Structure 1
Amino acid sequence: MKFDLADLRGFLAVADLGSFRAASLSLHLSQSALSRRIDKLEDALGVQLFNRTTRKVELTAIGRGFVPRARNVLNELEYALVGIQDVAERMSGQVTIACVPSAVAYFLPAVVREYHRQYPRIRMRVIDESSSVVLTAVARGDADFGLTYIGTQDADIEFRPLLEEPFVAAVHKDHPLARRRQVSWKDLSAYEYISLAQGSGNRFLIDQALARSEIKPRWACEVQHVPALVSMVEAGVGVGVVPRLAMPPGRHEALVSLKLNQPVVSRTLGLIQRRGRALSPVAQLLFDMLVKRRGGI
């Protein structure tokens, strides 16, 4: 068969983006050059991969079936290159991960630092947004995969649990509760309480846990995201409840984490990706590194 890897890359670009124009821009080719590559591939295979009109381009049934095969060919080639000595220093590309802000501060940076040390030429984009935005970014292909805490019933998304993470009470080191090892929700209700806003995934988990409880702290300050809540606690505005990984590990000059009970609240942190869509080699390397990282939490 007379076609090459460039033809496969052109085919996958059009299949993923649904447009010859968008695909040609992503590959830095003219549309005519890209069209010739697709024609060459179709001639070599003896089949029609796309239905093309003046308005849109769509994969044929055969084309849809060929997508995973073409992707596997390219991935296998790049995986083979990973085994070559010193290839890490020569690997290049870009990986995009969508991540909830509460997992960025003290979970993701260590992995990013190690990843960049091993693969210095690979660029990384982090989309730090709410759980709903993370899900959308992965579903649309704006991110290679996501790090989030809410499993999904979406048939097109796979959720891989990494760890079960408890929520803790966040207090300032000078707060009256700071010397205690654990507190209850009733204890927190006696002080100025900082809450996450309605619509937040973490707020939803907290509200679920408190649904049958008579103790519901009345908030004095409300914020949208966990990092903002932690900053408010650090400034001495009040107390709050956040996922454990959102708090600094070990001793901190201003913040204290306290075990929280009555009731206990927790969440499952995990990785999401599009079902049936193989990750690129550079994305798979980061994905695997995050999976290994869970053992060190």
Structure 2
Amino acid sequence: MRYELTDLRLFLAIAEAKSLSGGANAVHLTASSASYRLKNLEFAMGVPLFKREARGMELTPEGAFVLKHVRSLLAGVERMHGEVSGFASGLKGSVKLFANSSSLNGFIVPSLSRFLSANPNVNILLEERSSNTIEAAIAGQEADIGIFAGRAKSAGVNATRYAVDELIIAAPLNHPMVESSPVRFPAVLDLDFVCMSRTSSNYIFLRDMAKLAGKTPKVRIHVHTFDAVLSMVEAGVGVSLVPRSVAAAALREERIAAVALREPWALRELTLVTQAGVPPSPFVEQVAEYLLDDPIVAATREPD
């Protein structure tokens, strides 16, 4: 069987949009052309890939099976293009890394700053993802390395303990809550919050934990960086749920105060995963080892 990449990209776009017209728009095809290509693809595979229903396009069981392989195939093509373009620009290797916002800002960015300065032959493609999506993305070969909060559950990844961090409530220095530390999380939900953007994994986690407690965070403002969050907290705008690693400098400089949480989820184990069953490139191994061996990161894994 022979398949065109355009047809596979169209299939993926329709599956994600659950709409023929939406998928067609995503890959810049007319609806009639998309319909023709999809019929040819289904004919070539010998199975129906979608159920055409009034509410849209739903994958058949065969289509769901094909989708897993198409994601993997297109991710591999994307990595190939990235590495070939790297050769053209004088780079020798490219590594794609997915991470949640806490590990990204608390540990990974400082590590990668040092790594990239010392290794001009490697290019890093860095993307923030929610912790609950990263393991599946690595198993599906969407990226080379993933770092997330929690422990790996899939046989499709190789997992290594990366770091241990703690979620705290960052508060202004003279805030009354500081004297009550440690506190239960519901106790702080009546306070005004400074939050990361609505799409950040940090805010989504705060929102979900508040929902489990039967409350909604009282958000005064959403900002796009942890530096902005901490500046707002320092100015007395509100409190914020942040990783201790992110707030470390502000805490040392006594610009803010930390309120510890009693909830078990506040202590976070971060896991680094790579693809299982796929020999990693030397560049992936190099980046993964550097991230794990960073002294600041490694120190968090040591028992108190």
Q: Normalising to structure 2: TM-score of the pair? A: 0.55
Q: In structure 1, what is the equivalent of residue 98 of structure 2?
A: 98
Moved more, 142-151 or 231-240: 231-240
Contact 1:205 1:265 in 2 (8 A): no
In the TM superposition, 1:51-200 aligns within 5 A as: 55=44, 92-178=92-178, 180=179, 182-185=181-184, 188=188, 191-193=191-193
AA in 2 matched with 1:138: I
AA in 1 matched with 2:218: A
Task: Tell me the distance in 1 between the aligned counterparts of 2:135 and 2:234.
Answer: 30
SS of corresponding position for 2:143? coil
Q: In structure 2, what is the equivalent of residue 258 of structure 1?
A: 259
AA in 1 matched with 2:262: N
Contact 2:97 2:125 in 1 (8 A): yes
Contact 1:226 1:246 in 2 (8 A): no
The structural deviation recorded for 1:169 is 1.5
Task: Tell me the distance in 1 between the aligned counterparts of 2:168 and 2:204.
Answer: 16
SS of corresponding position for 1:115? helix
Q: In structure 2, what is the equivalent of residue 270 of structure 1?
A: 271
The structural deviation recorded for 1:220 is 1.2
The verdict on how the C-alpha distance between 1:133 and 1:229 changes in structure 2, with shifts beyond 3 A counting, is farther
The verdict on how the C-alpha distance between 1:123 and 1:114 changes in structure 2, with shifts beyond 3 A counting, is same
Task: Tell me the distance in 1 between the aligned counterparts of 2:231 and 2:141.
Answer: 32
Q: Deviations over 1:180-238 (max 9, x none)?
A: 48331276356335678799773488469x77xxxx76621286999486565355332
The structural deviation recorded for 1:96 is 1.1
The verdict on how the C-alpha distance between 1:192 and 1:98 changes in structure 2, with shifts beyond 3 A counting, is same
The verdict on how the C-alpha distance between 1:263 and 1:283 changes in structure 2, with shifts beyond 3 A counting, is closer
Moved more, 219-228 or 259-268: 219-228
SS of corresponding position for 1:285? helix
AA in 2 matched with 1:202: F
Q: Deviations over 1:3-55 (max 9, x none)?
A: xxxxxxxxxxxxxxx97869xxxxxxxxxxxxxxxxxxxxxxxxxxxxxxx95
Contact 2:139 2:276 in 1 (8 A): no
Contact 2:147 2:271 in 1 (8 A): yes
AA in 2 matched with 1:183: P
Task: Tell me the distance in 2 between the aligned counterparts of 1:183 and 1:118.
Answer: 41
The percentage of aligned residue pairs carrying the same residue is 20
The verdict on how the C-alpha distance between 1:136 and 1:268 changes in structure 2, with shifts beyond 3 A counting, is same
SS of corresponding position for 1:160? strand
Q: In structure 2, what is the equivalent of residue 202 of structure 1?
A: 205
SS of corresponding position for 2:154? coil
The structural deviation recorded for 1:140 is 3.0
The verdict on how the C-alpha distance between 1:138 and 1:19 changes in structure 2, with shifts beyond 3 A counting, is farther
Contact 2:195 2:240 in 1 (8 A): yes
Q: Which has the higher helix share?
A: 2
AA in 1 matched with 2:138: V
Task: Tell me the distance in 1 between the aligned counterparts of 2:160 and 2:210.
Answer: 24
The structural deviation recorded for 1:141 is 2.0
Q: In structure 2, what is the equivalent of residue 220 of structure 1?
A: 218
Task: Tell me the distance in 2 between the aligned counterparts of 1:173 and 1:111.
Answer: 29
Q: In structure 2, what is the equivalent of residue 247 of structure 1?
A: 247
Q: Deviations over 1:133-181 (max 9, x none)?
A: 4334323322111011133433312332223322212112353345x48
SS of corresponding position for 1:120? coil
The verdict on how the C-alpha distance between 1:110 and 1:140 changes in structure 2, with shifts beyond 3 A counting, is same
Task: Tell me the distance in 2 between the aligned counterparts of 1:237 and 1:220.
Answer: 12
* RMSD over aligned Cα atoms: 4.0
SS of corresponding position for 2:271? strand
The verdict on how the C-alpha distance between 1:169 and 1:158 changes in structure 2, with shifts beyond 3 A counting, is same
- Structure number with larger C-alpha Rg: 1
Moved more, 139-148 or 244-253: 244-253
